[in-house]
Amino acid sequence: MPDPSHITVVAPNFKRRLSGVTSTIVQLVPLQARSIPIATLGPGLPDTLPKLSWRDLPKLWRRPRGRPFRIWHARRNTEMLAGVVLRDILRMPLKLLFTSAAQRHHTGWTRFLIDRMDAVVATSERSRSYLRVPARVVMHGIDLDRFSPDGPMPAGELAASLEGRRIVGCSGRIRHQKGTDLFVAAMIALLPDHPDWTAVVTGRVTAENRAFAETLHRQIAEAGLKDRILLVGEVHDITAWFRRFDLYVAPPRNEGFGLTPLEAMASRTPVVASDAGAFAEQIVEGVTGRIVPTGSAEALADAIAPYLDDESLRKRAAEAGLAHVRRHFPLEREASELAAVYEALWSSAA
């Protein structure tokens, strides 16, 4: 348990269930902690992270050692609201920072909260375009030690059944927003003419999306492709599957930032993605992969088809993607750019 008097940055996490925001905190905070006294606050986080407990909150009335105030780095509305209460009502020495990944116009309530932040970060240029306040773009990075071409391949019965097969992969919760139905439709159109390929979808089905998943299973069965379009649920080690995929497809209709194309490219796997989230700012069109309009299974299939037919195209895109991610999207770059934002806030007090 860290000493609250030393903590200069608090990263709250007010959502117990795993999400993209939670994943960002889990990956980023340990790296930040190497150079900044930072701690998380909230449920749903592994014990390996530096954490404050709710009992530590009263100690935040004291200024941290060596800094004029703490930075409360929020990523959700609930966390912004808590920061406003702590700073403006309880008068704690805090400055509030918000990271916005939204790819849509904010609600009035969200704008109200953002207007009360001391600084704002956007995760992409597209996210920044929806903000009405000045913001600095700090794009997410990924752990290039975890996601890399080097490492184990998937093991187990499923992996063994796919031995010698080419695999086009898709990863994420099975639901309409994630475009799983678009991927399935594209595969139904393409796989009959590509007998060496199998499609694998990893990701869980929540109770509210069970009917959606059952519809997909029915469509696959009616197409006679039950053995070649596999919805396999959550997998033990997704990094191994990114290495195993010969092509990765990210078909969401909407997305916040979206890390899976970066994780695939870091694993030396070419990517076809919809124009959602920050995908168009991650993928070099025609070099590391392709970007297609959102919501179109036909456009998705047209973009995927050349990669199924041409091994040399896949290899060129795979190598280009690996080099691109290693140069522009290491997690260390994100941590460094956020550190510069924190320093600018502390300097403003002087």
Cα–Cα dist 22/18, whole Å? 6
- 2 band by pLDDT with thresholds 50, 70 and 90: confident
Domain coordinates of the chain in residue numbers?
9-141+330-349, 157-328
Task: For CA atoms 126, 129, 133, 134, give the dihedral sign.
Answer: positive
Mean pLDDT of 96-121: 96
Under 8 Å between Cβ of 134 and 120? yes
- 16 band by pLDDT with thresholds 50, 70 and 90: confident
What are the pLDDT digits (tens) for 298-343? Answer: 999 999 999 999 999 999 999 999 999 999 999 999 999 999 999 9
Q: Which stretches within 171-310 are classed as H helix?
A: 180-190, 210-222, 238-244, 260-266, 279-282, 297-309
Cα–Cα dist 26/39, whole Å? 11
- 349 band by pLDDT with thresholds 50, 70 and 90: confident
pLDDT at 22 over 90: no
Cα–Cα dist 148/167, whole Å? 18
pLDDT at 17 over 80: no
So what's the pLDDT on residue 291?
Answer: 98
pLDDT at 184 over 90: yes
Domain 9-141+330-349 in CATH 3.40.50.2000: yes
Average pLDDT across the chain, whole number:
95
Mean pLDDT of 70-82: 97
In the numeric block, which tokens belong to residue 13? Answer: 């996490």
Under 8 Å between Cβ of 274 and 291? yes
What are the pLDDT digits (tens) for 110-149? Answer: 999 999 999 999 999 999 999 999 999 999 999 999 999 9
Phi, then psi, of 289 in degrees rounded to 5? 160, -155
Under 8 Å between Cβ of 9 and 41? no
Q: Do domains 9-141+330-349 and 157-328 have the same CATH topology?
A: yes
- Calculate ∠ Cα 183-174-76, nearest 5°: 115
pLDDT at 35 over 90: yes
CATH of span 157-328: 3.40.50.2000
So what's the pLDDT on residue 202?
Answer: 97
What are the pLDDT digits (tens) for 194-206? Answer: 999 999 999 999 9
Phi, then psi, of 283 in degrees rounded to 5? -100, 130
Mean pLDDT of 163-167: 96
